[in-house]
Structure 1
Amino acid sequence: MEEFEGSTAAKKTKPVYISTVISIALVLLMIGLLGLIMVHARNLSKYVKENIVLNIIVSDGAKEVDVLALQKQLDTHPYVLRSQYVSKEIAARNLQKDLGEEFVQFLGYNPLLSSIDVYMKEEYANNASIENFTRQLSKNPLVKEVIYQKSLIDMVNQNIKVISLVILAFAGTLLIIAIALINNTIRLAIYSQRFLIKSMQLVGATKNFIRAPFIGYGIIHGLLGSLIAIILLLGALYLAQQQIPELVILKNWYEFALVFAGVVAIGILIAGLSTYFAVTKYLRLKVNNLYR
Structure 2
Amino acid sequence: MTYKEKGTKRRLRSSYITSVISISLVLFMLGLMGLLILNANQLSNYVKENIGVSIILKDKVKEVETRRLQKTLDATSYVKSTEFVDKETAAKELQAELGEDFISFLGYNPLLASIDVKLYAEYANPDSIAVIEKDFKKFSQVQEISYQKSLVHLVNENVKRISLIILGFSALLFIISFTLINNTIRLSIYAQRFIINTMQLVGATRGFIRKPFMAKTLMQGILGALIANAMLLGVIYFSQKELRQVINFTNVEMIGALFLIILLMGLFITWISTLFAVNKYLRLESRSLY
With normalisation by structure 1, the TM-score equals: 0.71
SS at match of 1:250: coil
Deviation string 1:51-82 (CA, Å, 9 cap, x unpaired) is 11000122334332232222222223232221
Give, in whole Å, the separation in 1 of the partners of 2:199 and 2:75: 68
Give, in whole Å, the separation in 2 of the partners of 1:135 and 1:246: 39
Aligned to 1:103: 103
- What amino acid sits opposite 1:87 in the alignment? D
- What amino acid sits opposite 2:126 in the alignment? N
SS at match of 2:81: strand
Give, in whole Å, the separation in 1 of the partners of 2:199 and 2:84: 75
Matches within 5 A, 1:184-203: 184-190=183-189, 192=192, 194-195=196-197, 202=203
Matches within 5 A, 1:1-292: 11=9, 13-35=12-34, 44-99=43-98, 100-101=100-101, 103=103, 107=107, 110-190=109-189, 192=192, 194-195=196-197, 202=203, 207=207, 214-229=213-228, 249-254=245-250, 261=259, 263-276=262-275, 278=277, 281=279, 285=282, 288=285
Tell me, yes or no, if the aligned pair for 1:80 and 1:118 is still in contact at 8 Å: yes
SS at match of 2:83: strand
Closer, same or farther: CA 111–273 of 1 in aligned 2, 3 Å: same
Aligned to 1:3: none
- What amino acid sits opposite 1:160 in the alignment? V
- What amino acid sits opposite 2:248 in the alignment? N
Q: Please report how far the alpha carbon of residue 149 of structure 1 lies from its aligned counterpart in structure 2 after TM superposition.
A: 0.7
Q: Please report how far the alpha carbon of residue 32 of structure 1 lies from its aligned counterpart in structure 2 after TM superposition.
A: 4.1
Closer, same or farther: CA 204–32 of 1 in aligned 2, 3 Å: closer
Q: Please report how far the alpha carbon of residue 150 of structure 1 lies from its aligned counterpart in structure 2 after TM superposition.
A: 0.4
Query: How many corresponding residue pairs?
Result: 276
Tell me, yes or no, if the aligned pair for 2:197 and 2:286 is still in contact at 8 Å: no
- Identity among equivalent pairs (%): 42
Give, in whole Å, the separation in 1 of the partners of 2:102 and 2:287: 90
SS at match of 1:161: helix
The answer to which of 245-254 and 136-145 deviates more is 245-254
Tell me, yes or no, if the aligned pair for 1:92 and 1:112 is still in contact at 8 Å: yes
The answer to which of 251-260 and 156-165 deviates more is 251-260
With normalisation by structure 2, the TM-score equals: 0.72
Give, in whole Å, the separation in 2 of the partners of 1:106 and 1:204: 96
The answer to which of 250-259 and 68-77 deviates more is 250-259
